[in-house]
Structure 1
Amino acid sequence: MSLTRPIESHTMNKAAEKLYAAMSANPTNWRLLELKTIAKRHRLEWHMDGSHCVFKQDDGQLLSVPSHGVIKVHYVKEFVLFVKGV
């Protein structure tokens, strides 16, 4: 019997959902690492394209977000809607 946990454990899912709720409520002072955590939880793909990270939904819709420093509020708001599928 293996004692290792799968990468997407219940704890990670719960933490990512809390992070998403916090981001939805207050879209200031977020970094790319936190967006990637949420994207992973929601099974979104992403790739780095120069100075931007491009997130991709299953239907091919793309969202480009700058990858350096604190992400501006309007990008975070777009990301929240993107994850929601709006």
Structure 2
Amino acid sequence: MIKVSKTLERMRNNPRDWSINDLKTLAKSKGIDWRQPGTSHVTFSYPGLMPLTVPSHKPVKSIYVLRFLDLLDRIEEENGN
């Protein structure tokens, strides 16, 4: 979990130059489902929240990283953490 929290901290400080695999790894550690049905987009979903679709370009644009971080924040808020 320390690696996850350090990665999140680095991502919050600099939302540029992240890969889609970084987002997938964080999603897995936080219990967020993701799917990529043979397309160039990945959809992250969590029960009760609106899914987030992110283009898997290299690197992921910072606006999508910020939206992903917002999704993580909403999940923590919903779970009371």
TM-score range, shorter chain: 0.7 to 0.9
Supply the AA of the counterpart residue of 1:17.
S
Mapping of residues 44-83 of structure 1, within 5 Å: 44-49=32-37, 50-83=39-72
**Aligned pair count?**
74
Give TM-score, length-normalised by structure 2.
Answer: 0.84
Larger radius of gyration: 1
CA deviation string 1:23-46 (max 9, x = no partner): 011101000011111111110000
Distance 2:73 2:65 in 1: 12
Supply the AA of the counterpart residue of 1:45.
D
Distance 1:29 1:71 in 2: 7
Q: Offset of 1:60 from its aligned partner?
A: 4.3
Structure 2: which 5+ residue stretches go unaligned? Answer: none
> In the alignment, what sits opposite 2:27?
39
Structure 1: which 5+ residue stretches go unaligned? Answer: 1-12
RMSD over equivalenced CA pairs, Å: 1.3
Give TM-score, length-normalised by structure 1.
Answer: 0.79
Judge conservation of contact 1:17–1:38 (CA < 8 Å) in 2. no
User: Do structure 1's residue 22 and structure 2's residue 10 form an aligned pair?
Assistant: yes
